[in-house]
Chain A
């Protein structure tokens, strides 16, 4: 007998939650306990009184599992609202990456040229290296990192995805 894997779809979920001790453990633990995937998770408080945080989770699974994830998150006591940005309509998603690249000569110039194409900023430099700051979709960051790998990638730091619905309404 072998274990069968199921097909998976990427979804970006946006949650507002009470900013209380243990909330992140509660959410992360729900994912591990029920066998769901987390591709990325970001959290920060978003109100003046620090009472509410927004958590953005990139997860994957068959549609039925995504439905379950949303229902399970929704019934946690400190969770105010769960929005599946992927299903809810047009939305913006961004992540920020810091990408350290080392090299000299033509490599160094090519790195700067590519950074310009990707609208990445140089936030640190030495004679032999740059740190680029880049924001964009996960795919854009992936592409930039892949190109830098050919030039002299040293290391990468990524924030994971944050997202909001397009349009004037709050969700």
Chain B
């Protein structure tokens, strides 16, 4: 058999695995791989400006297309710069394969130039990782890495390849897919668990479907099945931040997002439910609030592909270890087979109507400034009116929560946000990655003035690849969420939360060949948004919004769902040490 170099074997594997795009940055320890990619006919390489950008682009690409994102970076700083994005992908279960260069095997452990212990550093922030010391093992490892990244609970997998292994040769044949010795995630639920789940759901008088990112990860068919189950049961549906879009926001059964900045009706429904069916969510602390007061009178069913997510923080009555799509399919089939009819949920819905009447997402519009919520609502309306596919990404902070609250999502894979790790600097590169995977969609990063600066260097990447990404900055000249917590907890001592020395975002965009638009006041809002959407190329919008608006409703840390704050007048400005100690 003809021998190939490790670098050629790697590229051959990527082609065999159907990889179309690689996000990366060259350096000494990956030069052989870059040479193998030079003028490669099928793999498109996106040259980023910073390796963290590459990881978030891969995440955006993966989340919007359902395919794994691929990253290629050099040893040492290349790998360490990727660590935040790898951790982000782990917390949000995003399929990603990160190829890192390493110093040659004989130099490992000698503190060689650009050496870092990449497998050591990424061991606990990746789903799995490998150091490949033999080119003959490379193909098997790369195929296994993609298998592990994309199956079970998806996540990032790191493959560290020393430079001499990229150059040394070995015979190459496309590896056979064989059953893994130890990694065999359970995707099909136990029949007894499905049976019990269906009976509990059929008997429930106050059910809630509590859905999460697992529905998105399971694929579009899982969203379709969720809609079918909701229609069969008539139950209200709420979702975590990560699950938005799996169930249409326009449905009468939609309660809105739950949790810390969720709606009044979603959180009260969780609190008063007699049955919670958790589908691909993980009872995160942003969702549960105070644990001992969380959904106190309900029985709970938890469908999750990862057994370690079940009973981690909240004890459930019925665990269902399975892929969400598979479990929903089984439940729907059994529901129909048993001839179950919808319960009369009219009492339940009338209570929900009372909570909805609080209109918890309303906001005052009296001042001369643009309210940030209004900016999002108008952006949503304008996007709808284009009739085009729209993908929204966000950074992290108040703007993220306002986007989650005021932008309606009808379909999965259209909402990309950093939920678990809460990574400022995620949204803009994620938008570039999403645009690469969805060239015909309008891709908009909703950002804050502080977050956008965390990966602002990627403006050049979008310019280079002619990606018509839009950045919509809600500029209040603050790290708004930090400032909001300082108001809540530290009597408004704004320690380092003011965005001093902001750049002129319009000129900054123009310097990179972008169109820059500034929206100063309510009279410019509609036209500015329309101009952004009508511009063919990349656009950065500096939308000046009310500086001191806060994100409501809010469940303060350590509080129960029933202790929700609906408006700023309820803020006391101080908290107990126990509450302060929570994140």
Residues of A bordering B, CB below 8 Å: 1, 17-18, 21-22, 25-26, 29-30, 33, 64, 67-68, 71-72, 74-75, 77-80
Contacts and interface: CB of A to CB of B under 8 A. Distances in A.
Given A1-B578, A18-B182, A67-B311, A29 B123 contact: yes
Given A71-B307, A74-B308, A22 B123 contact: yes
A29 B306 CA distance: 20
A50 to B, nearest CB: 14
A26 B180 CA distance: 19
Contacts of A25: 120, 123
Consensus secondary structure, chain B interface:
loop
Given A1-B578, A78-B182, A72 B308 contact: yes
Interface string B281-315: 00000000000000000000000001110111001
27 contacts: A1-B577, A1-B578, A1-B581, A22-B119, A22-B120, A22-B123, A25-B120, A25-B123, A26-B123, A29-B123, A30-B124, A64-B311, A68-B308, A68-B311, A68-B312, A71-B307, A71-B308, A72-B308, A74-B307, A74-B308, A75-B306, A77-B128, A77-B148, A77-B180, A77-B183, A78-B182, A79-B182
Contacts of B120: 22, 25
Given A1-B578, A33-B124, A64-B311, 15 more contacts: A18-B182, A21-B131, A22-B120, A22-B123, A25-B123, A29-B124, A67-B311, A68-B311, A71-B310, A74-B308, A75-B307, A75-B308, A77-B128, A77-B148, A80-B181
Interface string B345-359: 000000000000000
B127 interface: yes
Contacts of B577: 1
Contacts of B315: 64
Which residue of B153, B308, B581 has the most chain A CB atoms within 10 A of its CB atom?
Answer: B308
A79 B184 CA distance: 10
Contacts of A22: 119-120, 123, 129, 131
A18 to B, nearest CB: 6
B345 to A, nearest CB: 33
A77 B149 CA distance: 11
Nearest to A21: B131
A17 B182 CA distance: 8
Contacts of B148: 77
Contacts of A68: 308, 311-312
Contacts of B131: 21-22
Nearest to B312: A68
Nearest to A79: B182
Contacts of A1: 577-578, 581
A72 B310 CA distance: 11
Nearest to A81: B182
A90 to B, nearest CB: 26
Contacts of A26: 123-124
Interface in B85-125: 119-120, 123-124
A56 B539 CA distance: 58
Contacts of B181: 18, 80
Contacts of B123: 22, 25-26, 29
Interface in B389-435: none
A-B pairs with the 9 shortest C-beta distances?
A71-B308, A1-B577, A77-B128, A80-B182, A77-B183, A71-B307, A72-B308, A33-B124, A29-B124
A16 to B, nearest CB: 8
B417 to A, nearest CB: 25
A72 B183 CA distance: 13
A41 to B, nearest CB: 17
Interface in B128-164: 128-129, 131, 148, 153
A78 B124 CA distance: 14
Contacts of A30: 124
Interface string B262-291: 000000000000000000000000000000
A75 B93 CA distance: 14
A25 B182 CA distance: 18
Contacts of A29: 123-124
A24 to B, nearest CB: 11
Contacts of A21: 131
Interface in B306-330: 306-308, 310-312, 315
Nearest to A29: B124
A72 B119 CA distance: 19
A77 B127 CA distance: 8
Which residue of B182, B183, B311, B577 has the most chain A CB atoms within 10 A of its CB atom?
Answer: B182
Which residue of A29, A33, A74, A77 has the most chain B CB atoms within 10 A of its CB atom?
Answer: A77
Contacts of A71: 307-308, 310, 312
A57 B479 CA distance: 45
Contacts of B182: 17-18, 77-80
A75 B312 CA distance: 14
A135 B131 CA distance: 39
